[in-house]
Amino acid sequence: MRKVTRYSESELVEGCQKKQPRYQRALYEQYHRLMFGLCLRYTDNRDDAEDILQEGFIKIFKHIGTFRSQGSFEGWMRRIMVHTAIEHYRRNSRYFMVGIESAPEVAMESDALSDLSRDEILSLIQDLPVGYRTVFNLYVIEGYPHQDIADMLNISVGTSKSQLSRAKKLLQEKLHAHNIRLAQG
């Protein structure tokens, strides 16, 4: 097994900005698992997540010259990966978007999911329809407001809110089907 040299974030950024292959390889080795996990949250299968990951790293290497050390480098890479996943979603949205008409109306009386840990939620969202999952990830995990989600996905704010509500409802039903009791908040 080849030994992987660990570099500081600033060394990685500087080396990649100079297009030095050893730093590009090190950047990929240090961050690919974390970014792959992010990509998996936006797709139904490992192959698509791998495609998104590779496309995202190509963009990172291509645009690393635009990174300014004013914010988190990892956060900058995460934004590129999320936007790459959304582009993938848009290219395939005719297959994945769950329309408002196709799901029953949902009235949320309590937000029981807010009592779950982030890891518990992440393990449950993988089976959601991709449209629901994408909105859920963008709103709950990534922290985007509905207007930004609507703009990114070319949907209305109402559709974003509706899909989030339905995603939460499906998650609650899944929990109840497995007899997991939620604390009421």
Q: Are 82 and 43 in contact (CB under 8 A)?
A: no
pLDDT tens digits for 149-178?
Answer: 998 888 999 999 999 999 989 988 887 776
Overall number of domains in the chain: 2
In a domain, 61, yes or no: yes
Match 């407001």 to its residue by tokens: 145
Match 């993938």 to its residue by tokens: 88
Q: Are 121 and 57 in contact (CB under 8 A)?
A: no
In a domain, 99, yes or no: no
| Domain harbouring 78, CATH code | 1.10.1740.10
Scored b (16 or more CB within 10 A) or e, 20-38 reads eeebbebbbebbbeebbeb
Q: Are 149 and 159 in contact (CB under 8 A)?
A: no
Q: Who has greater pLDDT, 170 or 4?
A: 170
Name the domain boundary from 74, 92, 110. 92
Domain that holds residue 176: 118-183
- Mean pLDDT of the residues in the chain: 81
pLDDT, residue 142, reads 87
pLDDT at 51 over 80: yes
How far, in Å, CA of 81 to CA of 55, rounded?
8
pLDDT tens digits for 7-19?
Answer: 999 999 999 999 9
pLDDT at 62 over 70: yes
Q: Are 130 and 89 in contact (CB under 8 A)?
A: yes
pLDDT tens digits for 65-119?
Answer: 999 888 889 999 999 999 999 898 888 765 444 443 333 333 333 345 555 566 6
